[in-house]
Amino acid sequence: MQNKKIIIIGTTASNLYIFRKDFIAACIVKKIDVVVFVSEYTAEWIAKLSELGADVVTYKLSRGGLNPFADIQTTMELINKIKSINPDIVLSYSAKPVIYGSIAAKAAKVPDIVGMLEGLGYTFTDQPEGQNFKTKLVRNIQVLLYRIAFKFMDKIIFLNRDDKKDLMHFYNFKKPEAYILGGIGLNLNNYQFSTALVQPVKFLFIGRLLKEKGVFELIEAIRIVKSKYPNCSFTVLGAIDHENLGALKQEKLDELIAEKLFEYPGYVANVQEWITNSSVFVLPSYREGVPRSTQEAMAIGRPVITTDVPGCRDTVIDGVNGFLIPKWDVNALVEKMCFFIENPDQINIMGKESYKIACEKFDVVKVNKKLFEIMEIKD
């Protein structure tokens, strides 16, 4: 009997490897042939995906572009490449692959077509000053394309309930069948629970240095907290996204580093070590799918301060393993940071609760089992 064949359509090879590695490995164990489609890649990341046992196919996609002719070309290329493989299932994730991958899979007569949206992105993210005309226009185009693509899908998977509500319910989508996964999960073997050191209290932020990640509110809050408690420390991990208009500018970052407001190692590969050396994780984001950085902090046993917004609110039970604060609220962020400085005994009490929630909700073995059930892939 021939093995089942699945195509996973993503964008960057590095992202696909980092976030799908355990799912690909679980498919291989089930004797499912895996083919991954990537549009941004290096030889190193293709080799890593191949080492997992997956075949790698490259295709052209303009991730952020709005050129309909380029997108039609992408769809035609995907149709031909999918037909040549003749898979049983196509699983696409992130906006453009979900749209054009699903349309292409339908044209290629694939039996099972599944999409996964790990967040709705900046077009669905509230801004303090409201969304500008261009963002609203892009969102309307995106919704129209989702409306078309969703008709060709058998199933759509969201990470959180808010995304399903804000897209499918708000815009009255009738199809396809929708499921909530609750996070793509972590291999908990790679995260060692530890007790946090609390003298001094060390706060950690991990994320791209973008407005939408709450980086400007964070900087303002750090300044206020340090004026009251100069001994506490702050570390910011993550790269500047020079292409993003809402990114922190390099000159401003240089000023903040010179001011010694926080430690900035930049982008690091060994986040586990940095989390282990921290006391409290902070993410004042405007919207997420279910943030991986928060899951990682919880798996190591750190309490979390985050915003009461889609995705982030799925990681914290307020007052149990951390705090949920209103979005854009610097004073609330300051208040909760000061709570941990003034009540250091709560850090490890709440950190243990974070660890329990991570084991219950974010263990990749459990998440993959649920994903296989949704996709009706049996042992």
Read off the pLDDT of residues 108-119 as tens digits, 9 standing for 90 and up: 999 999 999 999
Q: Is 304 helix (H, G, I), strand (E, B) or coil?
A: strand
Number of structural domains (the chain) is: 2
Question: Do both 113 and 195 map to the same domain?
Answer: no
Buried b vs exposed e over 192-214: b needs ≥16 C-beta within 10 Å?
ebbebebeebbbbbbbbbbbbbb
Question: Do both 227 and 107 map to the same domain?
Answer: no
Read off the pLDDT of residues 131-142 as tens digits, 9 standing for 90 and up: 999 999 999 999
Read off the pLDDT of residues 346-364 as tens digits, 9 standing for 90 and up: 999 999 999 999 999 999 9
Give the structural domain span for 273.
Answer: 188-361
Share of the chain above pLDDT 90, in %: 90
Q: Residue 163 — very low, low, confident or very high, per pLDDT cuts 50/70/90?
A: very high
pLDDT at 243 over 70: no
Question: Do both 121 and 247 map to the same domain?
Answer: no
Give domain status of residue 379, yes or no: no
| pLDDT at residue 3, rounded to an integer | 87
Rounded distance, CA 242 to CA 248, Å?
A: 8
Question: Do both 157 and 206 map to the same domain?
Answer: no
Read off the pTM. 0.94
| pLDDT at residue 212, rounded to an integer | 94
Query: In the 8-state DSSP scheme, what is residue 159?
Result: S
Question: Do both 300 and 368 map to the same domain?
Answer: no
Question: Do both 232 and 368 map to the same domain?
Answer: no
Question: Do both 332 and 240 map to the same domain?
Answer: yes
> What CATH number is associated with residue 141?
3.40.50.2000
Between 379 and 16, name the one with better pLDDT: 16
Give domain status of residue 77, yes or no: yes
